[in-house]
Amino acid sequence: MGAVASFLSSTTSSPTCATALTTASSKPSKPKAPKRIFIAVELPDDMKELCLETITDRLLPLDKTENDKSTVKWVLEPSLFHCTLQFLGSVEEDRIQDLSDQLRGKVLSTPPFTLQLGGLGCFPNHKSTKNASVVWLGLEGETQKLKDLSCTVMDTTEPLGFRRERRPFSAHVTLGRVKRGTGGRRKRGRRQEPGNSSSLPPALQDLLDRMMNSDSNEAREIKDRTHPFGVNHVALIESKLSKDGPEYITLERFDLMGKP
């Protein structure tokens, strides 16, 4: 009996065992990876479908080179259509809650307003395919209120350490981005030749030019299918990138109430 008691006493008081337990329990947890975050106005489902059909029915069939390759990375998932108010980039997990709290309080004072899908355009030259890098559908209606909302968002995020967008706000919904080495996106290490208006397929370029003319039949076809929609909230969205393309996850929505 004395031998057993002596053994138990020596085992429980062993510094080696105590150290092992302490080390295991105090092991730091792995920090969570930052999230790619942006703030946006979401579109109603029927307007998302209109954006998608504009691509799949009109634009995509003409986007073929001699090698049967596309020159534009089109948005082909309805959930990805939106109007960005501010892209924040990588945000640490522990900053997101404070960001949400600040945004909720600030945008609450903004009254709801109305927008409508407008004409087609390109960046950097809004009404020309010259050196095109982005193809988009514009937004019409109470766009000044949309611009003011963007300013409110940036006024809120800037004190939290996020960089303010320097480019003038342009209300649009991205339909596609011209691939590198095509049109306005030159391949690394190569200078773009002067006078090269676009490397888009001629048939696609011609259609885009017609659709950018508000008096054309192509432009009127889109106009006839749009309708005004209310903007009643702002969304905080996470963008997850993968080889299959981005996935957007709405983290939170902040209502526009028009209340001080």
For the segment 94-103, what is each residue's pLDDT rounded down to a tens digit?
999 999 999 9
**DSSP strands (E only) in 55-161:** 72-74, 82-91, 113-123, 134-141
User: Could you tell me which CATH number the domain at 33-187+199-255 has?
Assistant: 3.90.1140.10
Nearest to 238 by CA among 85, 74, 34: 34
Is the predicted pLDDT of residue 209 greater than 60, yes or no? yes
**Helix locations, 108-175, DSSP H:** 143-157
Is the predicted pLDDT of residue 194 greater than 50, yes or no? no
* Mean pLDDT within 205-219: 94
Rounded distance between C-alpha atoms, residue 224 and residue 216, angstroms: 12
